[in-house]
Amino acid sequence: MHPTPPPFSRRRALGLAGGAVLAAALPAVARAQKRPFGEADYARAFVIDAQGGFGDPDADAKILTAVASSGLTAVSVTMGQVGNGPGRYESVIDYIAQADGWLASYPKVLAPVRTASDLRAAKASGRVGLSYNLQDTSALEGDDSRVATLKNLGIRIIQLTYNKRGLSGDGCQEPGNAGVSDFGRKVIAELNAHRVLLDLAHGGERTVAEAAKLSARPPAVTHTGCRALVNHPRNLSDETLRTVAERGGVVGIYFMSYLRSGIGDPARDARGEDLIAHLEHAVQVCGEDHVGIGTDGGVDTFVLNDETRARQKAHHEQRLREGVASPGDGPDVYNYLAEYNGPRKLLTLGQDLSRRGWPTARVEKIIGGNFARLFGEVWDA
């Protein structure tokens, strides 16, 4: 998710159907599900959006109400602006100061999440944990020692690249697909040494595969889709998805336009079936222990009105100016799925997966259990 102050939220999603065929191929134990996933299961489970966000609760009290009612255990929010450009480090510092202010102002609703024990504490207290991430390494400005500095400021997930080429390697829209740079190798080593999670979202295919193998700790791809279903640069091939899983990582599926084959056609809005198709395919490729959710969207309910239309138009124009827009982006492409729109969207998703025969244990892994495990493996000594 590419944030623009104050909101930490972005666009919309489209996708691809065909999940019924994949569901038929699932193991018999999944099809034999007897007890549906329900409210009690959701309340018990770790529920994690590995790439999400919300607007400024200081400016809009309704946001805090939505977050409090969401049932989320944690959401990872992006600090700073993405892509190459001046002032990226200062931008990160400003965002952290703002988010730290929210944590101080709303301690009954929000909790900092920097360790696995923080995650468990947030769950036990019924608060929503905030984990801070970077969506590229531009804020390092060529200095890999800043990984330690940023960790001390609360950053726990760092994405290696954004869409284009950066000092750490090539993003998914860089035609050269040159992979990880020498500086990127140093960054990965620093992330491993300081127990910061390596995120490979937005990376080029070669960058993702190389970085996953270079990392001594399991990586994440916090928000992506399956290229076997929709051939888009933000989606990953089965081979690359499998490489991440084989390294012990977790792949988060997003709620975005890149999940549908009709990208660029505003009439073909995103549907829940598209998300489910990508989830089912990812589970087939990676295994149920290596798939999660990174919506790349907001926690609260998205309402399409004149204000949100104007905001998206301005946001898209900014992305065009910065050269970070992706194919299929547009002034009328919004980051939500009608079936999964609202604070408790992951409960609804869990119920839908359950109706398709997914065991409750598998649903719990996908809506947060797998990322909870990965966070603990990477963050905790």
- The mean pLDDT value for 37-48 works out to 98
- The mean pLDDT value for 158-163 works out to 97
- The mean pLDDT value for 358-376 works out to 98
Average pLDDT over the chain, rounded to an integer: 89
Supply the pLDDT for residue 341. Answer: 94
In sequence order, what DSSP letters do the residues of 224-272 get, joined into one string? EEETTTS--TTEE-HHHHHHHHHTT-EEEEP-SGGGBTTTT-TTS---H
Output the pTM of the full model: 0.89
Block residue for tokens 């797998």? 370
Q: What share of the chain is helix, strand, coil (3-state, %, to 5)?
A: 40, 15, 45
- The mean pLDDT value for 17-40 works out to 54
Segment (H or E) for 346: helix 345-355
Supply the pLDDT for residue 265. Answer: 55
CATH of 19-379, one of 3.20.20.140, 2.30.30.240, 3.30.70.980, 3.40.50.1980: 3.20.20.140
Band (pLDDT 50/70/90 cuts) for residue 24 is: very low
Supply the pLDDT for residue 304. Answer: 85
- The mean pLDDT value for 62-87 works out to 95
Block residue for tokens 């740079």? 181
- pLDDT at residue 241 is higher than 60: yes
Give percent above pLDDT 70 in the chain. 88
The single-letter code of the amino acid at 300 is D
Cα–Cα distances (Å) from 262 to 33, 201, 282, in that order, read 33, 22, 20
Contact 276, 353 (CB under 8 A): yes
Name the token pair of 292. Answer: 């999660």
Sequence-distant (6+) residues with CB within 8 A of 318 are 4
Band (pLDDT 50/70/90 cuts) for residue 315 is: confident
Segment (H or E) for 102: helix 88-105
- pLDDT at residue 238 is higher than 70: yes
Give CA–CA dist 347/181, Å, rounded. 41
Looking at per-residue pLDDT, the higher value among 24 and 121 belongs to: 121
- pLDDT at residue 167 is higher than 70: yes
The Cβ-side half-sphere exposure at 40, using a 13 Å CA radius, reads 2
- The mean pLDDT value for 143-170 works out to 97
Count other C-beta atoms under 10 Å from residue 55's C-beta. 19
Give CA–CA dist 256/205, Å, rounded. 19
Give CA–CA dist 93/205, Å, rounded. 30
Supply the pLDDT for residue 34. Answer: 66
Give CA–CA dist 287/108, Å, rounded. 37
- The mean pLDDT value for 269-293 works out to 94
Band (pLDDT 50/70/90 cuts) for residue 71 is: very high
- The mean pLDDT value for 330-350 works out to 91
Contact 323, 164 (CB under 8 A): yes
pLDDT tens-place string over residues 203-230: 999 999 999 999 999 999 999 999 999 9
Supply the pLDDT for residue 319. Answer: 84
